[in-house]
Amino acid sequence: MTAKPIYVLNGPNLNLLGEREPHIYGYTTLADIEANCNRTAAAAKRGIVFRQSNHEGALVDWIHEARREGDAIVINAGALTHTSIAIHDALKAFSGPVIELHITNVHRRETFRHHSYISFAATAVIYGLGVEGYHVAVEQAARLAAEDRVK
């Protein structure tokens, strides 16, 4: 049986990585991150579906798609992390591992960033590792998905 892909979903403004607030997020672009995620997934003998949207509904639709087509989800929902019950509910309907990801340490930032609706639906949370967090998240999503298949 062929392993299903890992969905790597990115929310609002992540298309501006490398340009927006580089003193916080660095100069690595989302395209660079996608290339690195592809390498990490390939090393784990996995594919990825890598997407970004500034629209909440698109993320919900992709989570629904992942229920049929994917084994795991890595999600950096950006600001929607702190506001979206719809994304939370969609993730709760996903049966595989969900890794919530943030480039920065959200607990060293504004207070409103300390609350996450996604954490309630996540298997694990990674934050503060910079863009390297994507590598760790994809690696761990592949490991957790493989463990789920063995059960």
Q: What is the pTM of this model?
A: 0.93
Q: What is the DSSP letter of 15?
A: G
- Phi, psi for residue 13 in degrees, rounded to 5: 75, -5
Give the per-residue pLDDT at 66.
98
- Under 8 Å between Cβ of 91 and 63: yes
What is the rounded distance in angstroms from the CA atom of residue 36 to the CA atom of residue 83?
A: 29
Given 7, 102, 127, 135, the catalytic residue: 102
Asked whether residue 132 carries a pLDDT value surpassing 90, the answer given is yes
Instruction: Give burial (CB, 10 Å; 0-12/13-18/19+) of 76.
Output: buried
pLDDT tens per residue, range 54-76? 999 999 999 999 999 999 999 99
Residue type, 108: R
Establish whether 25 is a catalytic residue.
yes
Check if CATH label 3.40.50.9100 holds for domain 6-150.
yes
Please report where in the chains the tokens 């930032």 appear, as a residue: 109
> Hey, where are the domains in the chain?
6-150
What is the rounded distance in angstroms from the CA atom of residue 63 to the CA atom of residue 132?
A: 23
Percentage, residues of the chain above pLDDT 70: 93
Q: What's the average model confidence in pLDDT over 40-62?
A: 97
Q: Torsion angle of alpha carbons 10, 13, 16, 18, nearest 10°?
A: -70
pLDDT tens per residue, range 110-119? 675 657 889 9
List residues bridging with 101 in a β-sheet: 126
Given 25, 117, 127, 134, the catalytic residue: 25
- Under 8 Å between Cβ of 10 and 45: no
Q: What is the DSSP letter of 4?
A: P
Give the per-residue pLDDT at 112.
57
What is the rounded distance in angstroms from the CA atom of residue 102 to the CA atom of residue 10?
A: 10
Q: What's the average model confidence in pLDDT over 87-105?
A: 95
Establish whether 88 is a catalytic residue.
no
